[in-house]
């Protein structure tokens, strides 16, 4: 293994963990979104059983939300959608792909 393995995204080497791969990227899951970050939903996984539940509460592609808090020990997440704050399970949030908004310059 003298040669470094190239990552599919063009990085010099393959990342050791998923978290390492996601650092600095604009796309991530809702479960990985840092507190205080504004992001837009790109998609909800089509074969996920909770897709309809999320659609009923307004969590669909194109919706903008803010991550307000993470509960300790990896439990619930609190997000704000429009003027409503709601709690979501981290496992469910992992099925929602997000795109972070650009930082103001």
Domains of the chain, start order: 26-100 (2.30.30.90)
Nearest to 71 by CA among 31, 22, 13: 31
If pLDDT is split at 50, 70 and 90, which confidence band does 105 have? very low
Taking Cα atoms as reference points, which of 67, 23, 19 lies closest to residue 59?
67
Contact, 37 vs 100, CB < 8 A?
A: yes
Does the pLDDT of residue 26 top 80, yes or no?
no
Distance between CA 105 and CA 75 in Å, rounded? 34
HEC assignment per residue over 11-68: CCCCCCCHHHHHCCCCEEEHHHCCCCCEEEEEEECCCCCCHHHHHHCCCCCCCEEEEE
Residue 102 has a pLDDT of 66
Reported pTM: 0.69
Paired with 77 in beta bridges are: 70, 88
Higher pLDDT, residue 5 or 75:
75
Asked whether the beta carbons of 90 and 75 are under 8 A apart, the reply is: yes
pLDDT in tens, 50-100: 889 999 989 999 999 999 999 988 789 999 999 999 999 999 999 999 998
- Average of per-residue pLDDT values in the chain: 79
């Amino acid at each position: 293994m003298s040669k470094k393995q190239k990552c599919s995204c063009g990085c010099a080497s393959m990342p050791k963990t998923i978290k390492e791969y996601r650092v600095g990227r604009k796309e991530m899951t809702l479960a990985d979104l840092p507190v205080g970050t504004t992001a837009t939903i790109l998609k909800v996984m089509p074969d996920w059983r909770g897709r309809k539940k999320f659609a009923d509460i307004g969590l669909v592609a194109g919706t903008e939300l803010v991550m307000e808090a993470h509960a300790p020990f990896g439990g619930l997440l609190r997000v704000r959608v429009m003027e409503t704050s709601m709690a979501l399970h981290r496992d469910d949030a992992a099925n929602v792909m997000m795109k972070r908004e650009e930082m103001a310059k």
